[in-house]
Amino acid sequence: MKFDGSDYRRLFDLSGRVALVVGGASGIGQAGAVGLADFGATVVVADVNLGGAESTAKEIQRRGHSSAARAVDTRSTESVDELIDSVVKEFGGIDILLAMPAINIRKRLVDYTDEEFDKVIDLNLKGTFRLARAVGRVMAKQGRGSMILMSSMRSTNVEPGQSIYGSTKAAIGLMTRGLASEMGQRNVRVNALAPSIIATPLTKPIRDNAEWNAALEKHTVFERWADPGEMVGPIVFLASDASSYVTGTTLFADAGWTVIDGRYTPPI
C-alpha cells in the first residue's frame, strides 16, 4: 500500500467499510462500536444480550451513522456461523472484526472446578477462535480485512485468582501471532489489544472496594482507571489504514501497567 502524503488524515477514514463488533452491548465493545461508526464504518453490533446490542446500534444511528444489531452466542459454532453468514449476505462482506466476549471467574487455581475452567476457556479462548475462524474465511476470500482480538495486561501480569483468565488472554496473544502469519498473503491483518484497568460495568465491584480500587490505580503511571472511550483510539488505529504495516502484534493500552517495577517511587 502506498500513500502520496497529500492528506494523511484519510488513513483513519473507515468510510465504506463494514465493522462487526461482537460484545458491543457495553463497556469497551460499546465504545469501540460507536467510535468505529464515528470514523465512517457501517457497524454491526452483536452480543448475547440483544437488547444491549440494539441500544448501542440506536446510539450509533442517533449520531447519524449506519448500524444494525444481531444476537450471537460465541459459545456456539452454529450461532457464530449464522451471524457471519447473515452479515455477509446483508452487507456484502466484513472489513473489520472487533472480538470482545470474555468472562472471568476469580478463584485460586487449586479451587477451580473442571466446569469453571471449561466455562472460561470456552468463551474467552474458543469463542475468540470461533469468531476468528469464521471471519478469517470471509476476509481471506475478500483479500482484505483487519481483525482485532482482545487480550489483556493479564496475559503477562497476573494476581491471585487470575491464573485461568490470564492464560486465555496469553493464548489469544499467541493465536493472534499465528493467525497473522497465515493471513498476511491474503492482505488480512490480525492484531490484539491489551488494556489494563477499564471502568466498565463488569469492574464496578472492584472499584466499589476502596482498598482494592486504590491498589489497582497506583499500578498505572497515571494512577487512575481508563474510561472505555480511551480504547477507541487504539481500536480505530488497528482497524484503519493507519496501521497498514502492523500485524501479529499485541498493543498494550495499559497506562504503563506492564512496565512499572512495583508500586514504590524511589527518592531520586
Residue 205 lies in a domain: no
Q: How confident is the model at residue 181 (pLDDT cuts 50, 70, 90)?
A: very high
Residue 140 lies in a domain: yes
Burial 16-52 (b: 16+ CB within 10 A, else e): ebbbbbbbbbbbbbbbbbbbbbbbbbbbbbbbbeeeb
Q: Which domain holds residue 148?
A: 15-198+230-253
- pLDDT value of position 260: 83
Q: How confident is the model at residue 203 (pLDDT cuts 50, 70, 90)?
A: confident
What CATH number is attached to the domain comprising 40? 3.40.50.720
Catalytic residue among 8, 112, 165, 264: 165
Residue 36 lies in a domain: yes
Contact 44, 87 (CB under 8 A): yes
Number of domains present in the structure of the chain: 1
Residue 183 lies in a domain: yes
Q: Is the pLDDT of residue 268 over 70?
A: no
- pLDDT value of position 202: 80
When pLDDT is averaged across residues 149-171 and rounded to a whole number, the result is: 94
Residue 261 lies in a domain: no
Residue 84 lies in a domain: yes
Query: What is the identity of the amino acid at 101?
Result: P
Residue 217 lies in a domain: no
Q: What is the DSSP letter of 25?
A: S
Residue 219 lies in a domain: no
Report how many helices (DSSP H) and strands (DSSP E) the chain contains, helices first.
9, 7
At 53-99, the pLDDT tens digits run 999 999 999 999 999 999 999 999 999 999 999 999 999 999 999 99
Question: Is 112 tagged catalytic?
Answer: no
